[in-house]
Every structure is written in structure tokens, then in C-alpha cells.
Structure 1
């Protein structure tokens, strides 16, 4: 279930505060001059397009060059296995708590670990700061232990599969998030996670580490977002630069990975769209008399699939028109592989914007669950009884700041994407003029998508 919608529905089981907080926030947002904010965001993105078209050819690429900070020693693999083993043990504990702990999803560690800590916090940090997943993945140490016990992989990963299994597993994850009748029920979620863990480790035993980097959707997701992080490695040094600098220094992605990157954006966009009154109107549901998630399973799955197909088609058409305008002999598949990573900042911006409100509240619930994981009156962290507050949703000033932060994340994501796409185009087509021509349809697409994203933030939402 998504962010605030999950918070509102599940929080109502224990207290009215989260539900009322969502209502108040939505009411205040509708009172804000969101049309002016949206216009300002679109103008900023359009101005970026014009400015980049007027700059000298190599200016965008120079802006994306990282700054080396310090030389990094080679990290022993054993260290990463230690941290990965700790993550795996935490996951095992959370699975046990999913069965033995409290039934309230806002008090049980498992739903908070999966939907709040991983899906909101860890994905955001991966895309903003750097590749922590090489240290925090719960799969790498158990997979290495299986190799030590069982020997080399039994099968070679079929190259023709590419990243297709990762696309399937990620869409399965998204389907549970958006369409399952009770994705935050601790026991139900424990079953999903246990099956996924067994399948992941079993396939690692069959295919070796190749399964994690090509077939396991969550690892591919995290590795993709690491490409737009501020911090990373460059020539053996710790380096920092504008988001996307690792795309410029890395190899061109495969077609399967490019498809995965576009699907990230399509899935994130539908994650916000399926909460709006507009979507409920399309599927014939009164959001004020919501009949329950079981009534919208089919429409949610169909919408998820349709949103991704539509985005893939529009993105491909924009690229094709751009190639025609630039008079380039580059094929559509090659252009798709070249420019798909430029959508990652947009996807990350939407992720941050969509889940910011949820993060402010669910972080408090996560802290309370860590302090008392089995709801038995424990005080493991010495915090006493953690009081969860949603008061900042009941004041127009704080809601305005939250909304502006969300809108800023959307706009910055698009500005970064346009900068990255232009730098890639100049490198591919040689001159700023040809690059600008090739990017004109894609720029129009990104400006329209900015307006769409800001509309999503300001739209009335159902429970």
C-alpha cells in the first residue's frame, strides 16, 4: 500500500491521528496557490531546456564532472559480508516478528521494515547519497555462504534473459504494494517476504552472483538508483558531483536495464495517480465511499501495466522524433539505451515527493517499533514511550513547507534529467545544435511530465 494512504487506512485502526492528519494536509494543500507553484516549476524546467540549448557544446558535460575527494583503500569483501549478514539477521528477526509480534502494522517491525525503512528511506538514500546497498543488502552474505557450502553455481545465467527476470520481480513487488488486499498485514507480508527470500537464495545457488545483478528486481533497482547519487567511486577515489555524473562515466546500459529504468518511472507515477479522485472517477469508484482494496485489484493491476506501456511508447516516440529532427542514423534501440538513464532523476524525485509526508510520520512509528519490537512494554533504546505526532499536518505553514519540498523534488528531478540528457546528446551527436534538435521532443515530454507530477501533488486524493 502506498505512503499516506496506507498510513490513513491502517492508522485508523489504532488512533484517528494519522487519518485526520492526512485529511488536514490534503485540505491545506487545496488552499495553497498550487497553480502558481506548478507554473513556476514548469517555467524553471522550460528555462533549463532553453539555457542548455544556448550553452557551448561541452558545458553540460563539464558540469557533470565529479570532484575527487580522497583515495579509497580497497575494502575487504569480508567486511561487506559482515554487514550483509547483519541485514539478513534483521530480516529474519522481522519475519519472526511478523508472525509473533503485534497485529497492528504500525507497531509490528516487519511492515515498517519493508515499507518504511526499505522502500521509503533506503531507496531514497541510495539515490541521493550513494551505493549503500553493497553493504546493506540481505542477500550477498547468505548467497556467498551457499556458494561455500554447495560449491560453484550449477547453471550459467542465460544472457538472452538479460534483465527480464528483474523486471518481472520488480513489477511483482509493485503489484503487492499497489493491488494486494492487505500488503501491510504482518503475517501476510511475512509469507510474501519468506517466499521471495527462498526463491532469491535458491536462484543465487543455481546461477551465482549473476542472479542478483540481473534477475533480482530490488538489487537491480538499487544499483540503478546508485547511478544518479551524489557520491561514488571514480578512478579509485571517493568523488562527488551533480546527480547523474556516474551515468556519464559508466558504460552504456543494456536494453533490458534501460526498459527497467523507464518502468521505474512509470510505476512511481502510477503509484501517485491511483490515489487521486481523477483515477477513482475513471474506474467508477466513489472515493468518499471506498469499498475496499479488493474492489480495485483488477483496475490497479491494469493501471500499473497500462501506465508503463504508455510511458514506454511515449518515450520511444520522443526519441524517434528527435533522431529524425537531428538527421541521425542512430537506431531507436541505441537511443533508448543511451537516454533511459536520464529518467532516473525524475523517478527519484517522484519517489521523494510522493513519500515525504509518509516518511515524516512512519519514521516515528519505526523508531517506536525498534524500541519495543513485540509491543511488550520494552525500552530497548532507552527512549521511553515514543509519542507519535502528526501536528505538523494541522498547520498551514508547515504543510506549505512540506508541499514546496515535494514540488522542489519533482522540479529538481526534471532539471537534472534535462541536464543529463543534453550532456549525453552532445557526446553522441557532436554539436550543441544537433543535440538540441535531438532533445526537442524529449524536452517537451519532460516539461509536460513536470506539469503532470505537480498536478499529482496538488490533486485531491482518496483513502
Structure 2
């Protein structure tokens, strides 16, 4: 068994691990959001994040990072397809920990460094130059937007959460093999824009990187991350991207509950439940964003797109709350196996359940507070003056509901 158990228990710690009673944590989180909204509603009258941070032209692709990313990719694929049992276990673990979860802290610290590390962009550049088509053969259809990336992210979370055996080498081989072929072929056909819109990991990294407090456009520039957050490129399917990320994390927490495990759901049942979580999260956000007066029909339809970037802090908060222990401890195991080392992972974090429980609350509530601030600032720009306060009430209710459900799923089930 290559990954015995870890996929079902990403986050460790539960209700009894909290230094305060669970109801107090939920009520405190809800009050923190409500007080934040009340304060900014009356003291924050002008938008503060309208002007993006400008540090000049982004640097060219750093070829040495592309070499590093290519070497790591070759090692992981080689271990997965040709390695021993230990190496294959390390490759599967690397796929689920460092490639998926580790992408988030990497983007927060280094910005969209994935653009430099991506071996697929490197392959596209080499083939494009060799074939005389650096921009590809076809124009990327504007109507596609982020939908291919959303489909890729959904395919990943389905493999992790719904497939019959997500930890098997065969399953991961098929997924990564298909991903490599589709990504390279798409890059050759459509050029660099394919990675900007269709590569699920590239898009995920680019979105989270807008919340980095240290890097702007891959240049070192410490700043208030709420100033760069609104610069997330808006396109068709961006709401689906965020809905998949939030909905899948919520379903992962819910699916780990004893009640759900005892149901012995089929793959089809798990798939339907995952889709329901994703659709509910997305539909609730769209409804809350559009629940305001004083706007035309066209303006109302545009509001979800204007506000979707405000959910990124919630995504990041949930990822850290849900996967932190998993990344730190299972990530160590993956590296040990992938390098064929004779070592034992440290379980320092999971041995301190009170700390883990406290961190969960901090990450969830902190992410929602940042989302409230970003949404309020954006509302000052997009909503009519007479509805700048009342037009935010539905979104505020949604944020409180997200907080309650997030803490309940992470700490109680």
C-alpha cells in the first residue's frame, strides 16, 4: 500500500483538541467578522486598493529555475514509472503533498514562480523555436477562459477524493501521464496563453500569488497583499476555479467524518457529493454578489466577476487549516521515500493538538477577515453610493456562513 491512510486524514486535530470549546470558537469567529465589517463600513469610506502596485516590467523567464523544475519533474516521473516500491511511494506522496498543497505557500512566498519552474513552459519554448511557432499554431479561444484549468483542478480533486484507489501507482500514472500530454500539446498548439488559462497548477499558482505580501510580478517588493489581490486576471471560468478549490476542501473535511465513512459510498456517490459541494459554494457566492440594488442588469451580472478575487484569502486560509499537518508530515515522508533515505519523519506538529486546533481557527477566521476587507474595498468601487453598505450585507452573511461551516467541518466532524 503506497499511501496507506493519509488521503483520508489530511488535517489532524479535532473538536477536543481546541484550548477553547468548539461553540466558542465558532461564535468568536462569527463575531470577529461582524465587528470587522461594522468597523470598516463606517470608518472605511474610500477605496484604498484601487491603484495596483507597479514595480515595472516583470523579469524574463529564469532559465535556471526551469532547469531545476525540469530535473525535479524528471525525477518524480522516473520514480513513478521506473522506480522501486519506495521511490514510487515517494512520487505518489510528492504528487499529493508538494505539488498540490506545497504550491500555496510557495506562491505566497515567491509569487508566481511556477511560471519559471514549469518544465512544460520550457518544452513549449524549445519546440516553439524549433518549429518556428513560438506563439503556437492556433489562437486560444476567448470563450474558453479558465474552464480547462477548472476541469483539470476538478479532475485532480476527483482522483484524490472520489476515485476507488487514489493512492495507487496506476491511478497517479494515468493522471500525470494525461496531464503531461495535454499540457504539452496544448502549449504547442496555443502558445504561452495555454498555460495562463488551461494549466490547472499554473493557474492555481498565479491566483494565489496575487496574495503574496513579498513579490509582485515575480519581483521582490514587500507590500500590502490586498493591493495586488484585485489584479487577479478576470476571465470566463474564474468563479469555477475558486468554487472547485473551496468546495473540494469542504467535501474533503466532510468526507473524513465517521458518519460519511460508515455510509460506504460508491465512487458515483462520492462524485455526486463532490459536485454538489462545488456547485453550492459557487452558486451561493454568485447569489450573494448579485444581491444588491441600484444597478442595471448588466452591472448585476458583472458583480460576481468583480468580487471573485475576494475569495482567494478564504481558499488560502482553508488550505492551511486543512492541509498544514498533512503537508509538513506526509511531505517529509514523500521526500524521504523519493530520495531513498533511511530516515523517520518528525511528528512535532501533530503531537501538539492544541496548537493545531488553534492554528485552524486562526487560518480560517484570518482568511475570512481579509476577504471582508477586500470585498468592502471593492464594493466602494463597484456599487452605487446609496447601496455601498446594504449591498454588502448578503456577502457578509455568506462570509459568516462560510466561517461557521469551515470551522464545523474542520473541527467537529
- TM norm structure 2: 0.89
Instruction: Give the CA deviation at 1:122.
Output: 2.0
User: What's the counterpart of residue 362 of structure 2?
Assistant: 408
The CA RMSD over aligned residues, in Å, is: 3.0
Choose 198-207 or 31-40, whichever is displaced more.
31-40
Residues 259 and 340, structure 1, Cα contact 8 Å, conserved in 2: no
Instruction: Give the CA deviation at 1:252.
Output: 6.1
User: What's the counterpart of residue 213 of structure 1?
Assistant: 196
User: What's the counterpart of residue 75 of structure 1?
Assistant: 59
Residues 157 and 211, structure 1, Cα contact 8 Å, conserved in 2: yes
2:257 paired with 1:304:
no
User: What's the counterpart of residue 9 of structure 1?
Assistant: 5
2:37 paired with 1:61:
no
Distance 1:328 1:98, change over 3 A: same
Structure 2: how far apart are the matches of 1:390 and 1:193? Answer: 29
Residues 361 and 390, structure 1, Cα contact 8 Å, conserved in 2: yes
Question: Which of 77, 102, 105 is residue 121 of structure 1 equivalent to?
Answer: 102
Residues 101 and 108, structure 1, Cα contact 8 Å, conserved in 2: no
Residues 153 and 244, structure 2, Cα contact 8 Å, conserved in 1: no
Structure 2: how far apart are the matches of 1:391 and 1:312? Answer: 37
Number of aligned pairs? 409
SS at match of 1:240: coil
2:393 paired with 1:444:
no
Instruction: Give the CA deviation at 1:129.
Output: 5.1
Distance 1:415 1:65, change over 3 A: farther
Gaps of 5+ in 2: none
Q: Can you list the C-alpha shifts for 1:162-195, whole angstroms capped at 9, x where unaligned?
A: 2221221221111111112222223431232122
Structure 2: how far apart are the matches of 1:348 and 1:75? Answer: 26
2:101 paired with 1:101:
no
Residues 210 and 232, structure 2, Cα contact 8 Å, conserved in 1: no
Residues 163 and 257, structure 1, Cα contact 8 Å, conserved in 2: yes
2:173 paired with 1:190:
yes
Structure 1: how far apart are the matches of 2:20 and 2:266? Answer: 31
Structure 1: how far apart are the matches of 2:209 and 2:279? Answer: 25
User: What's the counterpart of residue 92 of structure 1?
Assistant: 74
**Counterparts of residues 302-451 of structure 1 (less than 5 Å):** 302-321=272-291, 323-324=292-293, 327-329=294-296, 331-370=299-338, 373=339, 375=340, 385-390=342-347, 392-394=349-351, 398-429=352-383, 431=385, 434-451=387-404
Instruction: Give the CA deviation at 1:213.
Output: 0.9
2:262 paired with 1:286:
yes
Structure 2: how far apart are the matches of 1:242 and 1:277? Answer: 41
Q: Can you list the C-alpha shifts for 1:395-446, whole angstroms capped at 9, x where unaligned?
A: xxx2111111111010010000000000001012364x63221111000110
User: What's the counterpart of residue 138 of structure 1?
Assistant: 119
Distance 1:94 1:56, change over 3 A: closer
Question: Which of 176, 201, 206 is residue 159 of structure 2 equivalent to?
Answer: 176
Instruction: Give the CA deviation at 1:392.
Output: 4.8
Residues 116 and 362, structure 1, Cα contact 8 Å, conserved in 2: yes
Residues 426 and 435, structure 1, Cα contact 8 Å, conserved in 2: yes
Q: Can you list the C-alpha shifts for 1:258-283, whole angstroms capped at 9, x where unaligned?
A: 332333222222222222235x1xxx
Structure 1: how far apart are the matches of 2:226 and 2:4? Answer: 35
SS at match of 1:160: coil
Q: Can you list the C-alpha shifts for 1:26-67, whole angstroms capped at 9, x where unaligned?
A: 484278522212221111111111111111412x526x8788
Residues 145 and 237, structure 2, Cα contact 8 Å, conserved in 1: yes
Structure label with greater radius of gyration? 1
Structure 2: how far apart are the matches of 1:11 and 1:300? Answer: 14
User: What's the counterpart of residue 137 of structure 2?
Assistant: 154
Instruction: Give the CA deviation at 1:389.
Output: 3.5
Instruction: Give the CA deviation at 1:104.
Output: 5.1
**Counterparts of residues 250-269 of structure 1 (less than 5 Å):** 250=231, 253-269=234-250
Instruction: Give the CA deviation at 1:94.
Output: 1.1
